[in-house]
């Protein structure tokens, strides 16, 4: 899996010294840039489900492990970690309480925010997670985020920069000899 080191080294076999290392750093930086550009559009919008709460299934032994919410008349189960919500919510609700659930469209459907309503249908409490607070409209999909590409880009630039500095210092020292 991946590029073998010997195959990668063969690309630069005619080039020796710091120049080869500078080029290799630039190739790594280019790969990082491609990953950044490729992952920029890997986002999806949160979906919203409105209805009345029927059941909140909670693991009584460990509420941090996860809970499931079910709306009246729906077959969908929405996954939520109650401890992730702020303000804190213990899963208590009154019968047929109206709710808007904002979730990520994956399996299981992960709840990132909820709007609870009082018995008169007025907004009572907004529960959010850190994920939702950072970006209340979209979430990252896929395994490679722009931050991973940015890290690879920076690593490639650092390697290229170090060996460019070494190359310049060697040329400067040999020119005065």
Pick the CATH number of 43-140 from 3.40.50, 2.50.20, 3.30.160, 2.40.50: 2.40.50
Residue 51: name the closest of 71, 67, 76, 80 by CA: 71
Tens of pLDDT, residues 9-67: 566 566 666 777 788 888 888 888 888 887 776 777 888 999 998 888 776 666 566 78
Distance of CA 117 to the CA centre of its chain: 30
**Pairing label, strands 43-45, 67-71:** unpaired
- Of the candidates 114, 117, 123, the one whose C-alpha atom is nearest the C-alpha of residue 80 is 114
Whether the CB-CB separation of 116 and 93 falls below 8 Å is answered with yes
| pTM (predicted TM-score) | 0.59
Write phi, then psi, for 171 (nearest 5 degrees): -65, -40
pLDDT tens-digit map of 95-145: 888 999 999 887 888 899 999 998 888 999 999 998 899 888 777 676 677
Domain limits, the chain:
22-41+143-175, 43-140
């Amino acid at each position: 899996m991946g590029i073998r080191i010997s195959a990668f080294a063969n690309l630069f076999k005619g080039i020796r010294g710091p120049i080869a290392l500078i080029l290799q750093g630039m190739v790594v930086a280019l790969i990082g840039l491609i990953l950044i550009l490729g992952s920029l559009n890997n986002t999806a919008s949160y979906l919203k489900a409105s209805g009345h709460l029927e059941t909140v299934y909670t693991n009584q032994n460990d509420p941090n492990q996860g809970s499931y919410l079910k709306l009246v008349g729906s077959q969908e189960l929405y996954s939520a970690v109650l401890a992730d919500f702020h303000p804190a919510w213990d899963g208590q609700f009154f019968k047929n309480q109206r709710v808007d659930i904002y979730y990520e469209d994956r399996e299981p459907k992960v709840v990132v925010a909820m709007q609870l309503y009082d018995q008169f249908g007025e907004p009572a409490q907004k529960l959010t997670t850190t994920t939702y607070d950072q970006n209340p409209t979209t979430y990252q999909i896929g395994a490679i985020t722009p931050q991973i590409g940015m890290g690879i880009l920076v690593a490639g630039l650092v390697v290229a920069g170090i060996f460019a500095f070494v190359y310049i210092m060697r040329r400067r020292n040999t020119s005065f000899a």
